[in-house]
Amino acid sequence: MSKITFLKPDRSNINAVLSIGIIFVIIGILDVFLNTFFKLNLLSSFPKGISILFPFIIAMIGFHLVRIEFSGSRTIDLLNKNINTSTFNAALTLLILFILIKAIPPSFSWMILDANISGDSKEACTGTGACWTYIKVWFRRFMYGMYPNEQHWRINTAFLLVIGLGTFGFFATEKMKKFLALYYVVIYPIMAFMIIYYLISGGYFGLEWIETGAWGGLSLTFIVSFFCLIFCFPLGMILALGRRSSLPAVRYVSIGYIEFWRGVPLITVLFMSSVMFPMFLPEDFFMDKLVRVIIAITLFEGAYCAEVIRGGLQSLPRGQYDAAKSLGMGYWKMHIFVILPQALKLVIPGICNTFLALVKDTPLIFVVGLAELAGMLALAKTNPEWLGYAMEGYIFAAIIFWIICYAMSKYSYNLEEKYKTER
């Protein structure tokens, strides 16, 4: 009986209880720790069933003892409040801690400690860890696809130019600001297209012509998502306005369009663009594969964009429309100067999500035979000289995509904060 009262945390013998509890917790965690790192088992003499559960049980008892309200120590109170509010909570905490201790060291040592990066052939990879040499050797292929090595400066220059032109908005003076919308919707896409066409595709000014089949890698991901992003936005805007139009024919055409594209998977759309679309064009009319893919993705994402923009249009109070009308504005004037600026501000997060989905969807273009990053990985994986390094390749690609997408989502959050207006 006295043992049970001893186990019950009490403020009368607080120091003893706390110290015993903390020691128990530390023993439990230390046991798992030593077990994973040094293959040591503190309780090897115990029966097998108990020695597996031992750290868990002992740490649970420890957490139970530590759980005292107003213990007088700030750290203990903070601990109790955050990770040790109840028995269930303590169990979950321990579970997560043990999983972290069990999972992180092996993956850390696989990725960094035992990994190889030196050398430039398969023989360099001797350790048990990851073989980053594979990534190093194939790096240019992963970034630029089958584009000739000595021509890579063209892709880099083109991207730098396009990004440079895109930052125009930051340096525009007050006077030029009213032309910004025109610049970004009309002039910028045309200029970007010209740059990419003349620089990357080539064929003019003494530059060698390189067919789109050779384009690939991450740069192709950027090219496809950049063009789709630019073109799908105006399309979505038109469709959103069409869906909210009071003219039945316009409305139903828009609804039919939006619901059709939203109802089919992108992969079938790409199939359509590659096998069915050529049937619909005149015989002698040739359209490049990449162009067809860009058109298909643009049509597809335009529908999603339209739904997001429609959400913004619907959330505007009716008074805005009435006020604009009472000032004598017509349909287009009302939308361009009053409705759309407010609505677009509201839908920034939604639009960014659509764009994120677009970037994440671009790997799908492998079904029509365009090898961007995921496609190049599949190609490298089947290379007889580099068999068996699929894991490294996919982790590398996952990290790259994760950085891009995470940065975009954080940026969209910042934009949302920046343009927030109190209503």
Shortest distance, CB of residue 194 to other proteins, whole angstroms? 28
Question: Is 103:49 a contact under the CB 8 Å cutoff?
Answer: no
Q: State the Cα–Cα distance between residues 160 and 88, nearest whole angstrom.
A: 54
Q: Which stretch binds other proteins (CB under 8 A): 24-32, 37-45, 50-58, 255-263?
A: 255-263
Q: Distance of CA 44 to CAs 35, 49, 61, Å?
A: 11, 11, 20
By CB under 8 A, what part of segment 55-84 binds other proteins? 81-83
Of the pair 262, 333, the CB lying nearest other proteins is at 262
User: Helix axis angle, 289-315 relative to 217-243, nearest 10°?
Assistant: 40
Question: What is the Cα–Cα distance from 66 to 14, expressed in whole angstroms?
Answer: 9
Nearest distance from C-beta of residue 217 to other proteins, angstroms:
14
Q: Which of residues 81-120 bind other proteins (CB under 8 A)?
A: 81-83, 85, 89, 92-93, 96-97
Kindly indicate which of the ranges 28-36, 55-63, 170-178, 377-385 contains the residues binding other proteins, using the contact rule CB under 8 A. Answer: 377-385
Shortest Å distance, C-beta 195 to other proteins: 27
3-state secondary structure of 87: helix
102 or 177, CB closer to other proteins?
Answer: 102
Residue 272 CA: distances (Å) to CA of 261, 286, 363: 12, 16, 17
Q: Does 283 bind other proteins (CB under 8 A)?
A: yes
Q: Which is nearer to other proteins, 70 or 252 (CB)?
A: 252
Task: Examine residue 315 and tell whether it contacts other proteins (CB under 8 A).
Answer: no
Which position among 394, 411, 413, 419 is part of the footprint of other proteins (CB under 8 A)? 394
112 vs 399, which CB is nearer to other proteins?
399
Is residue 171 a contact residue for other proteins (CB under 8 A)?
no
Choosing from 16, 57, 113, 281, the residue that interacts with other proteins (CB under 8 A) is 281
Site for other proteins in 323-362 (CB under 8 A): 356, 359-362
DSSP per residue over 223-260, as a string? Answer: HHHHHHHHHHHHHHHHHHHHHT-S-HHHHHHHHHHHHH
Q: What is the DSSP string of 39-67?
A: ---TTTTS-HHHHHHHHHHHHHHHHHHH-
Contact between 275 and other proteins per CB under 8 A: yes
Per CB under 8 A, the list member of 182, 186, 276, 291 interacting with other proteins is: 276
**Pick from 42, 117, 230, 367: which binds other proteins (CB under 8 A)?**
367
What does residue 372 show for φ and ψ, rounded to 5 degrees? -90, -160
CB of 84 to other proteins, least distance (A): 8
Residues 56-61: contacts with CB within 8 Å, 24+ apart? 56/28, 56/94, 56/98, 57/28, 58/24, 58/27, 58/28, 58/31, 59/24, 59/25, 59/27, 59/28, 59/29, 59/94, 60/28, 60/87, 60/90, 60/91, 60/94, 61/7, 61/21, 61/24
C-alpha distances out from residue 378 to 141, 374, 381, 391, 413, Å: 12, 6, 5, 11, 34
Contact set for other proteins, span 222-251 (CB under 8 A) = 246-250
CB 145 within 8 A of CB 204: no
Candidates 56-64, 111-119, 269-277, 342-350: pick the segment binding other proteins (CB under 8 A).
269-277
Give the one residue of 260, 337, 411, 419 binding other proteins; rule: CB under 8 A: 260
CB 235 within 8 A of CB 250: no
Binding site for other proteins (CB under 8 A): 81-83, 85, 89, 92-93, 96-97, 246-250, 252-253, 256, 259-260, 262-269, 271-272, 275-276, 278-283, 356, 359-364, 366-367, 374, 377-378, 381, 390-391, 394-395, 397-398, 401-402, 405-406, 409
